Amino acid sequence: MQIRYAIPPSEVPGATPDALRERFLLQDLFEPGRVTLTYSLEDRMVVGGAVPTKDPLELPNPEQLAADFFAQRREIGVLNVGGEGRISVDGESYSVPNLDMLYIGRGAESVSFASSDATTPAKFYIVSTPAHKAYPTTPAPKSAANRVDLGSDETANRRTIFQYIHEEGVRSCQLVMGYTQLYAGSVWNTMPAHTHLRRNEVYMYFGVPEGQAVFHFMGEPSNTRHLVMRDGEAVISPSWSIHAGAGTSNYNFCWAMGGENQRFTDMDPVPMESLR
């Protein structure tokens, strides 16, 4: 498991593009036949991926967690962005098709991932936050997600937000998770931008066509920087940073938050004229 330390905003203005990528960008999340994990000290989130092929993959218990098993003090959200798959939690098997999610509560001792067809494997995106209370493991199908339509064609940001794990949906201790889909001809996400001092966020871009890219904007509002991102890559967004992007085509992104509260609307708006 990789470790990413918390970074103050003062380190960003003078950082080279390579230094920014090393600190905030998560690549190679989805490697066939492997589980990959990164531990970010921004609100102690663990982010990773699992791509089972012929054989199931067990969720490991990295020594850095100093736990008897991975979810001893943690909860987990898993979104499938690949082929049909299944997740086994303490012996109970859950079907998780494409764009469905599974919430795994604190205390789950055994978690494994499997694909229904090794030729079109599942691609499980994993986000975990510390949890002080146990909520039950719960399937979160896309059909039951709360849908919010935003933006317009005129501003190139027509998009639909699907909220899975949130206060009025699948319950969790602190994890909030879902994904946003942009429509053809729309490229901007989360603009006008915002920050939220009370929560850390991670974006994972997916459905980015081959040969296309997303320009992810980050940093303090008065001193923004950008990262060029491709399909299946994630970016850590500290509480002091904006998090917005524009693609060379439409795309999707999974957002996940952890921190002081679970209110999706708890954000500090940044006026367009303040961005620099």
pLDDT in tens, 83-125: 999 999 999 999 999 999 999 999 999 999 999 999 999 999 9
CA angle 78, 234, 97 (to 5 degrees): 30
Mean pLDDT within 166-191 = 96
With 0-12 / 13-18 / 19 or more C-beta atoms within 10 angstroms meaning exposed / middle / buried, residue 94 is middle
**Cα–Cα dist 255/158, whole Å:** 17
Mean pLDDT within 30-59 = 97
CA–centroid distance for 118 within its chain? 24
Query: Position of tokens 């320009």?
Result: 215
Please tell me the number of Cα atoms within 13 Å of 126 on its side-chain side.
30
Q: In terms of pLDDT, which residue wins out, 60 or 13? A: 60
> pLDDT class for 50, splitting at 50, 70, 90?
very high
* Average pLDDT across the chain, whole number: 96
Pairing of strands 35-40, 2-4: parallel
CA–centroid distance for 90 within its chain? 24
Q: Which CATH number fits domain 2-6+15-274: 3.30.70.1450, 2.60.120.10, 2.40.100.10, 3.30.70.3290?
A: 2.60.120.10
**Please, are residues 154 and 185 in contact by the beta-carbon 8 Å criterion?**
no
Strand-pair partners of 138: 103
> pLDDT class for 263, splitting at 50, 70, 90?
confident
Quick one: residue 211, left, alpha or beta (phi over 0 = left, psi -120 to 50 = alpha)?
left
At 19, phi and psi to the nearest 5?
A: -65, -40
Percent above pLDDT 70 for the chain: 100
> pLDDT class for 251, splitting at 50, 70, 90?
very high
pLDDT at 20: 96
pLDDT at 265: 85
> pLDDT class for 154, splitting at 50, 70, 90?
very high
Q: Does 73 score more than 90 pLDDT?
A: yes
**Please, are residues 168 and 226 in contact by the beta-carbon 8 Å criterion?**
no
Q: What residues does each domain of the chain span?
A: 2-6+15-274
pLDDT tens, position by position, 196-244: 989 999 999 999 999 999 999 999 999 999 999 999 999 999 999 999 9
Q: For residue 201, what are the CA distances in angstroms to 59, 123, 163, 183, 209?
A: 22, 21, 15, 23, 24
Q: In terms of pLDDT, which residue wins out, 160 or 272? A: 160
Q: Amino acid identity of 263? A: R
> pLDDT class for 59, splitting at 50, 70, 90?
very high
pLDDT at 192: 86
Q: Does 256 score more than 90 pLDDT?
A: yes
At 45, phi and psi to the nearest 5?
A: -85, 145
> pLDDT class for 170, splitting at 50, 70, 90?
very high
pLDDT at 58: 98
**Cα–Cα dist 116/111, whole Å:** 17
Q: Does 191 score more than 90 pLDDT?
A: no
Q: Residue by residue, what is the 3-state secondary structure of the chain?
A: CEEECCCCHHHCCCCCHHHHHHHHEECCCCCECCEEEEEECCCCEEEEEEECCCCCEECCCCHHHCCCCHHHCEEEEEEECCCCEEEEECCEEEEECCCCEEEECCCCCCEEEEECCCCCCCCEEEEEEECCCCCCCEEECHHHCEEEEECCCCCCCCEEEEEEECCCCECCCCCEEEEEEECCCCCEECCCCEECCCEEEEEEEECCCCCCCEEEEEEECCEEEEEEECCCEEEEECCCCCCEEEECCCCEEEEEEEECCCCCCCCEECCHHHCC
Global pTM value:
0.96
Mean pLDDT within 164-175 = 96
Mean pLDDT within 52-64 = 97
**Please, are residues 178 and 166 in contact by the beta-carbon 8 Å criterion?**
yes
Q: Does 65 score more than 90 pLDDT?
A: yes
